Amino acid sequence: MTRVLSLILYLILAPFVGAFLDGIDRKITARMQGRKGPPIWQPFYDLFKLFSKQMIAVNSVQLLLNCSYLIFLAVAGGMVFFGTDILMSLFILSTADMFLILAASSDSSPYSNIGASREMMQMMSYEPMTLLIAVGFYLATGSFRVDEIIAQETCAFWMMPGLFVGFILIMAIKLRKSPFDLSTSHHAHQEVVKGITTEMSGPTLAIMEIGEYYEKMLLLAVVALFFIDSSIISWILGIVLCLGVYFLEILIDNVCARVNWHKLLDICWLITLLCGGINILILMLI
């Protein structure tokens, strides 16, 4: 019953919590840049405005692909909150990204197509680390199942510090934060306008935004898995550290300039090799 309740709460509350965190993100970013910024509830206003607009899509496939993107993200996060296989959840997360790429590639806009190409390049950069993280949880705890990972006597972080550093890098890419906001950006400095979301508007764009909120909560849940064990205190610690990691991503976004795709691949594969690979080798030896 606890796992079912956790799944239901995730499916219902994840978009609301994700939108609230997005509003906090915008406010903190504005303060860091010397601006007042929008109200914290601005993402909710944006979603209401988008759903109130007329449904206009560049083709009949884009809406279907965006809905698939949303559904697969909800399934991937639901598997984590239900306590099932984290490896399968991360594979489904990658599948959801492919639907977003297909949605961006389904129209003739050059900005959208460039954004889709860059999104695929980003997937090439972070997918090896994603696989290593799942393998690391298995080597550290003896299981891919989330319910068995959080039932350990000690948290997995002490066995996976290098993989945790790698996952912070992945989050910066997945949340589209500088210096890795190649495919799209929430700010005006992106030279491809809005990249993958250039031709999305109205309810189609709103569905994509809700999918991002599901993805954000899934990523924060994986952060919590590094610190949660069988003790109650670890749950509180996991929530606090999730908020700390999210603030760190906002800070990185505001102090780093965007890199090109060559440096993205170099940085990600170097971190994967040094932090992820060495961590995995140590776990295998242990």
Say what the pTM is.
0.92
For the residues 126-135, what does the mean pLDDT come to? 92
**Sorting pLDDT into bands at 50, 70 and 90, what band is 219?**
very high
The answer to whether 2 and 147 have CB atoms below 8 angstroms apart is: no
Domain extent for 12: 2-285
Residues 151-200 have pLDDT tens digits of 998 899 999 999 999 999 989 989 888 888 877 776 655 566 677 887 88
For residue 273, the 8-state DSSP code is: I
Task: Please give the tally of structural domains in the chain.
Answer: 1
